[in-house]
Amino acid sequence: MKKILISAATAMLLASTAFAAEEPREPDLGRTFPVAGNVHIALFENRNSVFLVDDERILLSETNFERNAENLRNIIATVSPAPVELIINTHWHGDHIGGNKFFHEHGAVTLSHENTRIRMSEDQVNPVTNQVQLPAQAPEFLPMVTVKDGAVIHWGDETVEIVHYPDAHTDSDLVLYYDNSNVIFAGGLLEYPAYAGVYDPEGFVAALDAVIARADENTKVIPWQGPVVGRAELQEWRDIIETVAANVSALIAEGKTIDEIIAAKPSGQYDEKWGGGRTPERFARDMHYVLTHGTRD
């Protein structure tokens, strides 16, 4: 019992240290890029918020970190003076939802999957590291509209289909299809080229298969991090998840320990290109956890 108490205290200490390291960052000034039709990117700290403009209102997906919220609004205003009226959070991770409160105070309404609102309401602990990944958010940050399977939004000349894919990067992922502009915002389902967190490898592959099936050779795919890509890059990431999950599963079946699995480099063939963000070690550790526990929970 004593040992458990010590490790819990250590975990809390590690968690508070992690937050301390997050705080002093300066706001980013951001940049915008047109994508297609009326779809634009606002880039802050290497993360793509996507905004759709018409003459009167703006639909924004992802509010980045709280420290960047005002600059995010200001840079969107350089493209269109219309107000941000609707926000989509593709999932609950902190870099996607930090500006929610700011935009709510300026009249916006936020929509998410129902699990995003549930998870934002309580402390979220990363089970692999035992660190608090997201502390419970104040009510002012919480999405006001939640969906289960998805929604269709008619916004000016654009039709935006919002689809939930269960158990992929999280249990709350939404992907946005800008049908008239042939643009897909993949949300947490793609960071290019970087290993993203995997909540459930099987669900993640199924989700990517479904997104790939809706894309053609001209579709512009916006990842959460990285440049605008296409269907081929979704396929590349889909195949990596499948291959690395199979490699880690085989090593688990051989009775290897986590340290032996990391040493065997289960993502080795991809690491040079993909290992610059989340490290190969962390990717292997995450994959080992989900394959031995079912999901990230």
Question: Residue 33 has which token pair?
Answer: 């890029």
- For Zn ion, the closer of residues 88 and 251 by Cβ is 88
Smallest distance, Zn ion to C-beta of residue 93, A: 3
- For Zn ion, the closer of residues 93 and 288 by Cβ is 93
- For Zn ion, the closer of residues 188 and 275 by Cβ is 188
Smallest distance, Zn ion to C-beta of residue 107, A: 26
CB 38 within 8 Å of CB 156: yes
Smallest distance, Zn ion to C-beta of residue 46, A: 13
- Residue 194 CA, chain-centre distance (Å), reads 12
> Is 188 near Zn ion (CB under 5 A)?
yes
Q: Which of 47, 67, 73, 93 binds Zn ion (CB under 5 A)?
A: 93
Instruction: Give the strand pairing for 173-178 and 158-165.
Output: antiparallel
Q: Considering CB under 5 A, how many residues would be counted as binding Zn ion?
A: 2
- For Zn ion, the closer of residues 126 and 182 by Cβ is 126
DSSP for the chain, written as a single string:
-HHHHHHHHHHHHHHHHHHHHHTTPPPP--EEEEEETTEEEEEETTEEEEEEE-SS-EEEE----GGGHHHHHHHHHTT--S-EEEEE-SS--HHHHTTHHHHHHTT-EEEEEHHHHHHHTS-EEETTTTEEEEPPPPGGGS-SEEESSEEEEEETTEEEEEEEESSSSSSSEEEEEETTTTEEE-GGG-BTTSPPP-S-HHHHHHHHHHHHHH--TT-EEE-SBSS-B-HHHHHHHHHHHHHHHHHHHHHHHTT--HHHHHHT-TTGGGHHHHTTSS-HHHHHHHHHHHHHHSS--
For Zn ion, which stretch binds (CB under 5 A), given 77-85, 92-100, 139-147, 271-279? 92-100
- For Zn ion, the closer of residues 60 and 189 by Cβ is 189
For Zn ion, which stretch binds (CB under 5 A), given 87-95, 106-114, 139-147, 251-259? 87-95
Binding mask 116-145 for Zn ion (x = CB under 5 A): ------------------------------
Smallest distance, Zn ion to C-beta of residue 246, A: 23
Smallest distance, Zn ion to C-beta of residue 16, A: 22
Smallest distance, Zn ion to C-beta of residue 137, A: 15
Smallest distance, Zn ion to C-beta of residue 80, A: 27
Smallest distance, Zn ion to C-beta of residue 177, A: 19
Q: Which residue is nearest to Zn ion (CB)?
A: 93
- For Zn ion, the closer of residues 268 and 276 by Cβ is 276
- For Zn ion, the closer of residues 57 and 278 by Cβ is 278
> Is 223 near Zn ion (CB under 5 A)?
no
- Residue 123 CA, chain-centre distance (Å), reads 18
Ramachandran angles phi, psi of 78, nearest 5°: -75, -20
**Which 42-81 residues touch Zn ion, going by CB under 5 A?**
none
- Residue 32 CA, chain-centre distance (Å), reads 19
For Zn ion, which stretch binds (CB under 5 A), given 64-72, 151-159, 180-188, 204-212? 180-188
User: Can you give the binding site for Zn ion, defined by CB under 5 A?
Assistant: 93, 188
